[in-house]
Structures are given as C-alpha cells and as structure tokens.
Amino acid sequence: MAFSDRLVAAWYAPRLTPLTAALLPLSLLFRAIAAIRRWVYQAGIAQSASLAVPVVVVGSILAGGVGKTPLTRALAAALARAAWRPGIVSRGYGGSNVVPRVVTPGDDPAAVGDEPLLLAADAFPVWIGRDRVAAARALLAAHPECDVILADDGLQHYALRREFEIAVIDDARGFGNARMLPAGPLREPRSRLDRVDALVRLTTGEEALPAGDSGRETAMTYEPLPWRNLTQEDAIADAAAWRAGVLHAVAGIGNPARFFALVRRLGFNPVCHPFPDHYRYARADLVFPDATAILMTEKDAVKCAGFADTRCWYLPVRARIDPALVARVERTIRGRQAP
C-alpha cells in the first residue's frame, strides 16, 4: 500500500494510530500557521482582493475528495439556467501553474489537473493558477461577459474576497479523527464551519433532499447518468453481459469506496482496484485479460482516454443540489451587483 493510502486510512481509523500519533507535532504547527493566515486577513494586515463581479467559493475544511468539484459544476449549471454567466477558477492540482492559464477539454490532465478538466467539459470559462486572484482577473479579461466567479476549492484562499462561502463535507466519512493535517484530514478546525454561509452534506443518495429549506445546512446527492464508452461515443452499455461476466472497477479519487458502492447499488459485482487520488494512470494499470468491462469514474476517464480500449466505460454523475441553496446564492450575488 502506498504511503498516501496508509495515511488516509489512518485519518479515518476509529482511533489514533502510531502513524498519526507521530505526526501530531506537525499538526500543531499546521494549526498555528492556518490560524495566523486567517488572523492576518481578519485583522486587516493583509487585504483580500475584490473583483468587479461577485465571488462564490466552494471548498471544504477536509483534505481530499468530498464533492467540491461536482457541487461547483452543479451550481454553475443552475446559475446558467437562471441567466447568469459564470466563470470558474481553480488552483489546478499540484499548483504548478504559476502563470494563470485557460483550461480547455483537450488539455493534458498532468498539466492542468483532472478537476479543472471536468469543469472545462461543461463549456464554462475555466482558468487555473496558484494565485486565484490573478486567475480570476485573467478570466474576466478574456471573458468580460462573465458576471459571477465560482472558486473551486477556494475556501482557504483568503486573498480572494468572497460574497458567499459554501463548505462541503462527506457524510459517509465525516471528520475522521478530527485532527489537523498531516495527522488528520482537517485543513482548518471544525469551528471554521460556523462562519460559512452554507454547509452542504454529501449523502449516499438514499436520503431525500430538503425541499425549500432556507437554512444554511443542506444536502447533496449524486445522480448516476448513463454509462459512456471511452473509445466509442455511441456505444450502448450491455448491463446483462456485464452482470454475467467479469467486471473490474478502478477509482483514483478521494474516496474510491464511494464509487465502488455506487456500482454495487446499480446491480453489479465488480473486482475493485482503488488508486490514490489524482493518480496518473499508465496502460499497465488497465490490463485485465478476464474483464468483460472496465468501469471507472469520469475523473479517471480523462486520464485514461489515451490508452483505453473498447471495454473501458465511465460513469458520469450529476450532483443534485437543493434549489434553496441556489436561491440563497442568487440573492447574495444580486445584492452585490446592486448600485
């Protein structure tokens, strides 16, 4: 097991492990640095930059995949249906993009990150950069028609002033051991959630979304869409053949178990192959001679498209969010636009 996998498993273990215990001194240091960064902006020593349009931040106090990007995609689509023209900024995995750059669907995921590629697939302007303020300004210069900026995974980027903050947590995993990085999964203390405008809980999909609740806490579920083949756009999945054959499922996301559980809920019994989040696949990772089909997430598909064969399929999912959340966001950003 890779060290990153061991570490994540230790974060969500029922009790402190020798590995996480050894990392506690570093967690205390991380907590202090995070507190100082927040205080510097709260005290006005450093100034958050304002943009010409309102900013909505989608993020989490938890490291790893908890549903931030699916929520950003769903919120952008909902705002577009309401006649807003959103643009999206992100850091890009690894933060190697010092100079802001646009993301297009044909870009190399190793260069721009897999989440920005997913965002760009929806035809909204997407720009990435280590400096989110510079990325947002570059986006607005290139797309002056945009009237709202969504900052994907931007909760801790205090240099960018925001009108509305949304934090996401995964109900299935919770807060793990509730320790700060690197001994636990927390980027900031749990008390940070008291100051966000909306708290969205990613549920298993079996709970109903609240209807018309104007409170700050709401739910989000994943709705699976039809399977898509990586090499043949018009191919139709043969579920009966899959159930009779051998299925292999791969997932290189923050919580692979969630994807595997979804595949099982759809009536399949896959051989599961979890990989670390942001894993860079190679052709050898998909060599399964006995496979009737190889199933993966959309996030994995953008990295496997170059060497996938006809047995490779991915499952797009759409985040279902509470309309009341969208209405609250709209009221806030409309107020920001008022003269």
Identify the band that residue 205 occupies on the pLDDT scale cut at 50, 70 and 90.
low
User: Are residues 329 and 268 located together in one domain of the fold?
Assistant: no
Averaged pLDDT, 103-107: 92
User: Are residues 333 and 308 located together in one domain of the fold?
Assistant: no
User: Are residues 66 and 155 located together in one domain of the fold?
Assistant: yes
User: Are residues 80 and 162 located together in one domain of the fold?
Assistant: yes
User: Are residues 162 and 17 located together in one domain of the fold?
Assistant: yes
* pLDDT over 50 (residue 208): no
Note whether residue 191 is domain-resident. Answer: yes
Tell me if 163 sits within 8 A of 4, measured CB to CB: no
Whether the model pTM is above 0.75: yes
Return the pLDDT at 110. 86
Tokens linked to 107 = 């870009």
- 3-state DSSP call for residue 102? strand
Averaged pLDDT, 75-97: 90
Tell me if 128 sits within 8 A of 101, measured CB to CB: yes
Return the pLDDT at 278. 87
Q: What is the pLDDT of residues 262-315, one digit of tens each?
A: 999 999 999 999 999 889 999 999 999 999 999 999 999 999 999 999 999 999
User: Are residues 304 and 241 located together in one domain of the fold?
Assistant: yes
Domain that holds residue 290: 226-315
User: Are residues 69 and 216 located together in one domain of the fold?
Assistant: yes
User: Are residues 62 and 202 located together in one domain of the fold?
Assistant: yes
User: Are residues 48 and 152 located together in one domain of the fold?
Assistant: yes
Identify the band that residue 2 occupies on the pLDDT scale cut at 50, 70 and 90.
confident
- 3-state DSSP call for residue 329? helix
| Close Cβ partners of 245 (under 8 Å, ≥ 6 residues apart) | 291, 292, 293
Note whether residue 138 is domain-resident. Answer: no
Counting the structural domains of the chain, the total is 2
User: Are residues 170 and 274 located together in one domain of the fold?
Assistant: no
CA nearest to 255, candidates 173, 332, 333, 180: 173
Return the pLDDT at 315. 96
Return the pLDDT at 237. 93
User: Are residues 197 and 236 located together in one domain of the fold?
Assistant: no
Alpha carbon distance 12, 27 (integer Å): 16
